[in-house]
Amino acid sequence: MKPRISLIIPAHNEADFLPSCLAAARRAQDECHADLEIIVVLNRCTDATEEIAHRHGCLIVREDAKNLSMIRNAGAAAATGEILVTCDADSRMHPQTFREIQRRLTTGRIVGGGAMVYPERWSLGIIASGLSILPYLIFSGVSFGLFWCWKRDFMEIGGFNPEFVSVEDVDFAKRLKAHGRHSGRAWGTLWRAAIVTSCRKFDIFGDWYLLRNPNFVRKVFRGRDRKVADHFWYDVRS
């Protein structure tokens, strides 16, 4: 019997993006006939996000903290699946995502992992901005986009660390990878089952923003600057 999957989606006013995210998840479920529960963690929503989540049969959890670690952890606490997957509401997973995750985890050789990420559109500025943060990503030694692991491993490492108000995903991935090494399991990346993510941050701040603001990028990757986190994530308005 295939292990159950719990998909956790943090959502702060995601009415424009959530339907596509959920549709992609259902396609991936159909591809592998997964037993899937979808948990939408509402965060200070004032739009139709909750209505959309209800309409698609999602489990609703509420966490109003301006802290993605706490938001993701709230979803994990409510999850009943043996496998946890986290995906942002403005991303669309590949149809083979759940199939690949189940296949890799059930071998016993993989602790969990991330995925290849493609932007929904390309520009010279987006490419340049991506290259400007590439050294930080390479140094971390992990992949991103969407995270997946056994729930028992998630709990053993304490989930996401609330002390980080940015790059909490980088910290989580590094700790999960280290946890895997202790039990002889490797980090995995879904190269072929890539996700496609929105470019709304570039739409708001500009395609060249990250390249033109290296000090901002450094503060982001330190993970603990409240002002920076609020500016780019928690208080931004589409």
| Phi, psi dihedrals of residue 14, rounded to the nearest 5° | -110, 25
Domain ranges of the chain: 5-121+143-198
pLDDT at 4 over 60: yes
Sequence-distant (6+) residues with CB within 8 A of 86 are: 7, 8, 9, 10, 72, 75, 146, 147, 148
- Could you read off the pLDDT of 36-52 as tens digits, one per residue? 999 999 999 999 999 99
For the domain made up of 5-121+143-198, the CATH class stated in words is: alpha beta
Q: How confident is the model at residue 2 (pLDDT cuts 50, 70, 90)?
A: confident
42 or 33: which leads in pLDDT: 42
- Could you read off the pLDDT of 121-172 as tens digits, one per residue? 999 999 999 999 988 888 888 888 899 999 999 999 999 999 999 999 999 9
pTM of the model: 0.96
Q: How confident is the model at residue 238 (pLDDT cuts 50, 70, 90)?
A: low
Indicate the average pLDDT of the chain: 96
Angle at 157 between CA 44 and CA 130, to 5 degrees: 60
Beta strands in 64-124 (DSSP E): 83-87, 91-92, 110-119
Residue recorded with tokens 């997957």: 85
Residue recorded with tokens 């006013």: 13
- Could you read off the pLDDT of 173-221 as tens digits, one per residue? 999 999 999 999 999 999 999 999 999 999 999 999 999 999 999 999 9
Q: How confident is the model at residue 78 (pLDDT cuts 50, 70, 90)?
A: very high
pLDDT at position 140: 84
